[in-house]
Amino acid sequence: DYHERCVQCSEVNWGVTDGGRFYCRTCHNVIERTREVVNTDVISNTRVQTISKGLRKQEKTDEGWEWYVCEGFQFVLKKQAEALEALGACPQMKDEILCNFWRRYLQKSQQAYCNRPAGEAIKVLSGCDSSTDVDSEPERPSLLHLLSFSESDGDLLTDCSFGSSTGKVSESTSVCSGSVDGSLHLMKNQKDKLRMSMPMTLSFCYMALLWLREPMTLSDLLRFVVEGHIPYLNVFQCFPEKMKLYGLDLKIFCVESWPVYEEVFNKMLQLAAFLELPRFPDITDICFLHPDMLCMKYLMEANLPDELHNWTCRVVKKIHIGETDFLTFAPGNKSTRKVKYDVLAAAVIVVVLKLLFLLDDHYEWLLSDVAEERNKNNKEDGPYFEFKKWYKVIKSSLDVEQKKLDEEKAKYLWRCEKPLFYSAKKKSKVLKRRQIVVNLQNQFGKLSGSVQPAEKPNPSSFQLNWSEENTNGSCFHGHSLKGILQEKCGLLTAMNPDYWLCTVKLCTEKLCGHLAHYRELDFPQSYHFVLRLFSFLLRIQPSYIHEEVCVIEHKLFNKKLYKKPKYNPGRRK
């Protein structure tokens, strides 16, 4: 008597299980619908009706489990940690580092590992009248235990009694959100409690990576998120089916924008201070996050000569930004400036390019013409570096990659693939409607001849790859800088005696929040092109790199910028 099509295979070929539930004989999909089973074998002329077991229980638990917002975030962190371990992060990250950070956050925010407060969380549960539910299901285990980072974790002592929930969801829960405290989470506006959010999950991950000194910068982490290697966008569709998500929960877990570097970094600083973490392990010269290491990586990716690494090392040593005390993250020390390791390394390379080529839209082209003439007459030594030729090769590749990235972002479907349904009654309708949409999309795609989206590429630390084996001369790693250097007092120095500062004075306005400002029209096009190249590699705004360039310049030319008046012994103070 049931003629609806199966949502999986669209066939009408139904059978009935021993429990009385319908299943598709074609694809073996079991649905929620049940039927009455007529049994006339025992007593004649007597009709016995048996209902499948669990039907009454299923109707009562139609709204799903009672769950809390922190349980949802713990599930997200667990998935992100597993993805990072799959990318090569240390196995200790999930169960030892990130899990301890998360426990400390739950305790500091009084959500778990603390005595039950007499305030807000208990008021949310007061609307649940479990005394009238006689046939309620047995107590379910805490989701915080089920979704814990390791199997050996014990039960959590939470302030909301996660383990004592009943099968019937409270009225206050079902009205505005699937979670118990969704509305309360959004209402929190307390300065002493740092409210959890989806960008903060990435802050947790980066903080754990930084503690372990993993070879992954924040820009790498956010790029892997955008490429889909780390769960972030629509991660809630991986939640267990009983964790119903709707209403205010969508504002908490549904993300409709790409993660922003500055937001994730600032949240990490706030989080480390909120947790009162000690000084992180030292960043030494053998760590990947050291400027000398990162400069080598970015020089290779930017297709610049290897000889430039000697100059970046000299700048790092000159202004003391390679020292352990400067690089090591100390949350309790408010006087020190927190380091963005990837931005710092990119800024050092920009300063070196300005020292050697000036980047004033004139001098670099003059040097390039001289190098081109020498390369024509030079048949024995390696080729001299030509800035003009490098500019053309990089600009061509950069334009292609930037266009591809913009198209991928424009085509991204923010709606999750897994449809959201809030009750078993609506499940079949929602799945059927979703299946119709998918079928129509496939049919129109075949008619229009659109290319199916390719599988996401394997994760890589390099976005632009250059090989010295290329015969077209597009790799500049082995090119020489002899054409722009001269020997002076036993040291190689730049032939260029001049240098222009991005800004004479750093901004000291506290409300501004930035030490320097950037407008493309105020600077040479060569300088802007170099900023654009590294902003693409780091997936950040050029203004962030420009600000770090200004800070490095003021450290490098500090004595010339701030000359002290000569002391006159004959003058009284």
Greater confidence (530 vs 162) lies with 530
421 inside domain: no
Residues 85 and 198 in one domain: yes
User: What are the distances in angstroms from CA 175 to CA 160, 178, 274, 293?
Assistant: 19, 8, 33, 54
10 Å CB burial of residue 154 (0-12, 13-18, 19+) is exposed
Residues 200 and 107 in one domain: yes
- pTM tops 0.85: no
Q: Name every residue whose Cβ is closer than 8 Å to that of residue 308 and which is 6 or more positions away in sequence.
A: 299, 349, 352, 353, 356, 481
d(Cα 211, Cα 98) in Å, to the nearest integer?
10
Greater confidence (159 vs 9) lies with 9
Average pLDDT, the chain: 79
Start-to-end CA span in the chain (Å) = 105
Q: What is the mean pLDDT of residues 151-155?
A: 38
pLDDT at residue 175 tops 70: no
Residue 153's pLDDT is 40
88 inside domain: yes
pLDDT at residue 130 tops 70: no
106 inside domain: yes
Residues 220 and 310 in one domain: no
100 inside domain: yes
417 inside domain: no
Residues 301 and 263 in one domain: no
Range of the domain at 243: 67-112+194-277
pLDDT at residue 133 tops 90: no
d(Cα 244, Cα 555) in Å, to the nearest integer?
55
Please tell me the least confidently modeled range out of 4-18, 49-63, 359-373.
Answer: 49-63
Which of 319-323, 428-432, 438-442: highest mean pLDDT? 319-323
The tally of domains found in the chain comes to 3
Which of 21-35, 326-340, 496-510, 552-566: highest mean pLDDT? 326-340
Residue 385's pLDDT is 93
435 inside domain: no
Residue % of the chain over a pLDDT of 90: 41
Residues 201 and 272 in one domain: yes
| pLDDT-based confidence at residue 292 (cuts at 50, 70, 90) | very high
355 inside domain: yes
d(Cα 183, Cα 438) in Å, to the nearest integer?
34
Q: What is the pLDDT of residues 527-544, one digit of tens each?
A: 999 999 999 999 999 999
| pLDDT-based confidence at residue 413 (cuts at 50, 70, 90) | confident
Residues 272 and 310 in one domain: no
Amino acid at 541: Q
Residue 32 DSSP label: E
149 inside domain: no
| pLDDT-based confidence at residue 169 (cuts at 50, 70, 90) | very low
| pLDDT-based confidence at residue 511 (cuts at 50, 70, 90) | low
